[in-house]
Structure 1
């Protein structure tokens, strides 16, 4: 009998552990309507359904995606949200385009931006002025940088990406052969300890590191506001969408009767 009691106690303890580790299933309580851009007449909606479903699985987001019955150019996405803002945030993570661009910052950026502020015609045609907010607070108080329009790297040079929580919510990007050659060739010509790169994500500079040496290794991006933000970029690079989707509406679903 003592052995039976011990066994029963162990089973109870095991049951408690299992129940503690199990996450409650999140109900799909919001529905979004997504549309393809008007100028995109070639992307298959069924392919987008598969791509969004794969993304949702990678991100661990409960979701159901299908082509809308009323139009083949619309997609219905049912997902969970604690409220509308949370549902919208999850939808953004699911649909983010995740465009990255790495470009050179002009070695005389401070001088160029200063004279361009007084006379815009003095800005070299192959450069543009972008704002870098190192603190990530937004607004117009960031540093103005003269950035080359020519890309050293973009999404087409990415082999794979991995988001990690270490440090400042980083995304480690492995480059394909073309990307490795391009970053090495570009940084080889730069002034070590002075020249800088602009790491641009969705038209915003998230980092502007100084080039200390010739680069030919995987690239690490940092400066994301949260791990979820970094994870969304990594997922969008690993599972790119065939088209940029537009959010038409997001409404709560009526509770289902039990």
Structure 2
């Protein structure tokens, strides 16, 4: 068996085992019939305050539905963002388990939380199709899966929106944004993405929903949105499980 196949199978075998074994809440360790128990879900997911309708950063309650100062001063290429939660303790550890621990059973749960956030977002126009943020070939081979795609698959079914897993490609294996200084993250993502040649007709004139696990600085999503619009997309909306609050 090739090394790539072993890496591809390992997280999926763990996910299958988790589906058949008794479940404990990934946050509190208590008994649960889902990856996260209902009390923890109510406590840590959703129910947050107002967010900027463009970048999903927190706003004061009086500014609900408006744009934050950063988006007013320097509008990103994307048009809207919905986030299911803040990227903060303890949900940050849950995301890390999915991304780096291969806990793929968490992906459908994240998708469910994100679907509820999308349906509850005031004034949010549902996209016509979904596009996961792609990984570069080396990162994908190393990890064995793309966590954005693992979330996008069940999200597509929950929302009834078509998923195009290979709509965009990552033409450069850029360093992980978490390892790049904040001031260099925008430059790190320059020229990182392309629309797949056989997907050009799919992109033109469409409203595309970009799916990712975490949105931090927003530079990755901005670069992807700019690429999609350069190839003819009419609108781009981000749908992310967790949003890192500004420091």
Q: TM-score of the superposition, structure 2-length normalised?
A: 0.21
Q: Larger % of strand: which?
A: 1
Higher relative contact order (CA 8 A, sep 6+): 1
Higher helix share: 2
TM-score by length of 1: 0.20
